Amino acid sequence: MCATLHNHTLVKKGELVGATRAIPLVMKQPPIERAAAIARQNGWVLSIRPIRQARVGLVITGNEVYNGLIQDRFAPTLTEKITALGSEVAALNFAPDDAEAISRAIRSQLDRGCDLLLLSGGMSVDPDDVTRHGIRLAGAEEVHYGAAALPGAMFLVAYLGDFPLLGVPACGLYHKVTVLDLVLPRILAGEKIGKKELALLGHGGLCRDCPECTYPHCAFGRGA
């Protein structure tokens, strides 16, 4: 038998990810060798992907923050998540609720060598929420809006060429763990996230909002 951790689990070097046992007290060697051969022929049983160190750009949108009417809390929150995964924030821009300005901020950060962008604010369906429009203006042709996970249903994943852009909804300010925590490690591991991946988050994608958060030692994001 073989028991493993859930798929898409973030692990550290030296951490146990799977274990095997021979259920009978004594086994002959040929069945064990056959099991190992089957695993090799089918691409192994487990695969561990390293997480790359990204140069991340943050674009914080919203007229209130841009004009200094309220203090931004998104940048510190996102920076903490990014650095915890071994990446760095290489650029930070604030943009008003203006699609052209958001587009310019995106292009500027890509020109400065950022290879992953996180955008916050303006991700709902209100008329003045124009972040999605700004992402398209910047040249993103592949845009996937909406994830089957709570908190984080209005999450966005887009690609501008090979560069991923993640749109973080407002729930990222009020919940310790959101869909971003499920998707960001997979992006850094080189996985392409599209409609199918965002839809499959639905099984296990409901946070129970426990009084004391124990993530990742809980069921959130742990689909079959």
Percent of the chain beyond pLDDT 90?
A: 81
The per-residue pLDDT for 127 is 65
All domains of the chain, ordered by start, with CATH? 2-41 (no CATH), 55-200 (3.40.980.10)
pTM, rounded to two decimals: 0.91
Strand pairing report for 142-145 and 156-160: antiparallel
Kindly tell me if the per-residue pLDDT of 126 is higher than 80. Answer: no
Kindly tell me if the per-residue pLDDT of 224 is higher than 60. Answer: no
Task: Report how far residue 69's alpha carbon sits from residue 19's, in angstroms, rounded to the nearest whole number.
Answer: 54
Model confidence pLDDT, tens digit, residues 73-114: 999 999 999 999 999 999 999 999 999 999 999 999 999 999
Q: List the beta bridge partners of residue 116.
A: 56
Kindly tell me if the per-residue pLDDT of 129 is higher than 90. Answer: no
Token output for 103:
């587009």
Kindly tell me if the per-residue pLDDT of 128 is higher than 90. Answer: no
Nearest to 135, CA basis, from 90, 112, 102, 108: 102
Residues 21, 55 contacting (CB under 8 angstroms): no
Model confidence pLDDT, tens digit, residues 26-46: 899 999 899 889 988 988 888
